[in-house]
Amino acid sequence: MGLSRKERVFVALLGIAAASGLTMLLLILVKATNVFLPADTKFGIVFDAGSSHTSLFVYQWPANKEKDTGVVSQTLACQIEGPGISSYASDPTQAGESLKSCLEEALALIPRTQHQETPTFLGATAGMRLLSQKNSSQARDILAAVSLTLSKSPVDFWGAEILAGQDEGAFGWITINYVLGMLLKYSSGQWILPEDRMLVGALDLGGASTQISFVPQGPILNQSSQVTFRLYGANYSIYTHSYLCFGRDQVLIRLLAELAQQNSSEPRVQHPCYHNGYQATLSLAPVYESPCVHTTDSLNFTQNLTVEGTGNPRDCVAALRNLFNFSSCKDQDCAFNGVYQPPVYGQFYAFSNFYYTFHFLNLTSRQPLNIVNDTVWKFCQTPWKLVEASYPGQERWLRDYCASGLYILVLLLEGYKFSEETWPNIQFQKQAGGMDIGWTLGYMLNLTGMIPAEAPTQWRAQSYSIWTAGVVFAVLTLVAIIGAAAVQLFWTQD
């Protein structure tokens, strides 16, 4: 006896379901290919605790690195309100408290699931180097306070320490060459080492120190001035030196102290670097608290000092030169204070206070040296009342731009030995490639070499056409099964 019509339909639907289901399974198993999804993004936080202020930077990079170094980009820059942490010597806990607002902003940006694996570092620069010389216990208390704050936060705290001047210069060099694409560039779908690259030098002028870093044309004859490192599979060797007490703020303090000592019998100073008509009464005590200032017994530090500006750039330059020791250099491979330096070579980027001073003076467009000199001198000779009227709202630093501008010229031309021919090689910049220029990015690039890379996640996937066919057969299988069930349940027997 043959199958009934109901039974024939039921068997047919089951056959279709089985065939389409088998086809779908084959498509999934046989046509699937291995694909690698990108690894997760890593984040890092660096605090730049400078002499005059502290900044926080958040960086990110793909976890699968390029030749053991991360491809890092900046995602946040946050300037912390208040002075540098070295100013909290009398109340160290406030140094730690000051970091919290920017830290909260950083944690809001980084996914919560990655907070505990986000390396966080605080590097203190020349302001804390000076405080450590003056009072090492106060410096330790401040570092302990900021460490306590950061260790309580949900991050991977790597420490808070005073950065060596040589490291500050080297990391600044890494930063500027990285953001300019000199260390790595993207070409034809991959990251490669640039072939025709011109490595640039770095000039950094902070509040308490200044750094020069570059690759000289010849060998580096003094090994203590040489720093070597490896990035993206390539080795680098640069000259770098940091001059403590030659930062902008400390030079202004030293200059005032020098003028006061020359007229120690009078509580009044004629200041050639302040504009004619400027007058102020200052306390001597804060001036002589700086380790950069060498005191004399004849001065009464408790007295006030009346400072009158004369607006004389020639005398100002002469006073600034007295802060250098040029006579200690006996050969051409020497900068000042007896410090070895090979001749400057190549292009240079000048940032920090180099940029801020020349930006104010409208001198960041690579003007010729004679134009720069004329501009600074004319500004110095401008009466104070006219300067005040021309720059409202900028009173805090206004009196110091003349001295800063002339100091930069003395430092670059007579200190670092730039000339009229090499002056055009200097660019004054705050940012490059959308990122701030400073030591923090270079530090983070170097740090990525110590953080293990993560392999991309392996998955099995189909092409779009195979995936579409699989969906069609899946739907056909489901319809056939539902149809077979419906036949069995609702079709009455013949």
Q: Which of 97, 105, 168, 195 is catalytic?
A: 168
- The amino acid at 456: P
Same domain, 395 and 293: yes
pLDDT band per the 50, 70, 90 thresholds, residue 464: low
- As a whole number of angstroms, the distance between CA 40 and CA 457 comes to 9
Residue at 232 is within a domain: no
The arrangement of strands across the sheet holding 41-49 comes to 73-79, 54-62, 41-49, 119-124, 156-162
The predicted-structure confidence for 132-177, as pLDDT tens digits, reads as follows 998 999 999 999 999 999 999 999 999 999 999 999 999 999 999 9
pLDDT band per the 50, 70, 90 thresholds, residue 458: very low
The pLDDT score that the predictor gives to residue 10 is 65
Q: Is the pLDDT of residue 107 over 50?
A: yes
- The amino acid at 38: P
Total number of domains in the chain: 3
Residue at 168 is within a domain: no
Same domain, 108 and 149: yes
Same domain, 252 and 386: yes
pLDDT band per the 50, 70, 90 thresholds, residue 24: low
Q: Is the pLDDT of residue 453 over 90?
A: no
The pLDDT score that the predictor gives to residue 37 is 38
The pLDDT score that the predictor gives to residue 256 is 94
Contact assessment for residue 271 and residue 309, using Cβ atoms and an 8 Å cutoff: yes
The predicted-structure confidence for 328-349, as pLDDT tens digits, reads as follows 988 889 999 999 999 999 999 9
Q: Is the pLDDT of residue 492 over 70?
A: no
CA-angle at 493, arms to 492 and 494, nearest 5°: 115
Q: Is 421 a catalytic residue?
A: no
CA-angle at 284, arms to 281 and 285, nearest 5°: 130
- As a whole number of angstroms, the distance between CA 54 and CA 15 comes to 74
**Sign of torsion over alpha carbons 211, 212, 214, 218:** negative
Same domain, 9 and 51: no
Q: What is the mean pLDDT of residues 184-210?
A: 84
Q: What is the mean pLDDT of residues 474-478?
A: 70
Residue at 208 is within a domain: no
CATH of the domain at 297: 3.30.420.150
For the record, the structure tokens of 338 come out as 């007896």
Q: Is the pLDDT of residue 32 over 60?
A: no
Is the pTM value of this prediction over 0.85? no
The predicted-structure confidence for 379-429, as pLDDT tens digits, reads as follows 999 999 999 999 988 878 899 999 999 999 999 999 999 999 999 999 999
Q: What is the mean pLDDT of residues 458-462?
A: 46
More confident residue, 16 or 55: 55
Residue at 212 is within a domain: no
The pLDDT score that the predictor gives to residue 424 is 97
The pLDDT score that the predictor gives to residue 480 is 65
Same domain, 369 and 486: no
Contact assessment for residue 33 and residue 462, using Cβ atoms and an 8 Å cutoff: yes
Same domain, 328 and 474: no
Q: Could you give the percent of the chain with pLDDT greater than 70?
A: 82
Nearest Cα neighbor of 441 from 118, 164, 179 is 179
pLDDT band per the 50, 70, 90 thresholds, residue 187: confident
CATH of the domain at 155: 3.30.420.40
pLDDT band per the 50, 70, 90 thresholds, residue 460: very low
Question: What is the residue range of 306's domain?
Answer: 248-431
Cα distances (angstroms) measured from residue 247 to each of 130, 324, 382, 396, 404: 11, 13, 25, 18, 10
| Residues making up the chain, counted from first to last | 494
Same domain, 392 and 343: yes
Q: What is the mean pLDDT of residues 99-105?
A: 96
State the average pLDDT for the chain: 86
Same domain, 23 and 95: no
More confident residue, 267 or 74: 74
Q: Is the pLDDT of residue 197 over 90?
A: no
Same domain, 303 and 354: yes
Same domain, 297 and 395: yes
Q: Is the pLDDT of residue 457 over 80?
A: no
Residue at 262 is within a domain: yes
Q: What is the mean pLDDT of residues 446-456?
A: 59
Same domain, 266 and 400: yes
pLDDT band per the 50, 70, 90 thresholds, residue 456: very low
The predicted-structure confidence for 51-86, as pLDDT tens digits, reads as follows 889 999 999 988 776 776 878 889 999 999 999 999
**What's the N-to-C CA distance of the chain in angstroms?**
14
Residue at 173 is within a domain: no
Nearest Cα neighbor of 440 from 22, 4, 74, 33 is 74
Residue at 293 is within a domain: yes
The pLDDT score that the predictor gives to residue 465 is 63
The predicted-structure confidence for 295-317, as pLDDT tens digits, reads as follows 765 556 667 889 999 999 999 99
Q: Could you give the percent of the chain with pLDDT greater than 90?
A: 62
The pLDDT score that the predictor gives to residue 396 is 80
Contact assessment for residue 457 and residue 40, using Cβ atoms and an 8 Å cutoff: no
Contact assessment for residue 92 and residue 141, using Cβ atoms and an 8 Å cutoff: yes
Same domain, 388 and 297: yes
pLDDT band per the 50, 70, 90 thresholds, residue 493: low
The predicted-structure confidence for 355-374, as pLDDT tens digits, reads as follows 999 999 999 999 999 999 99
Residue at 384 is within a domain: yes
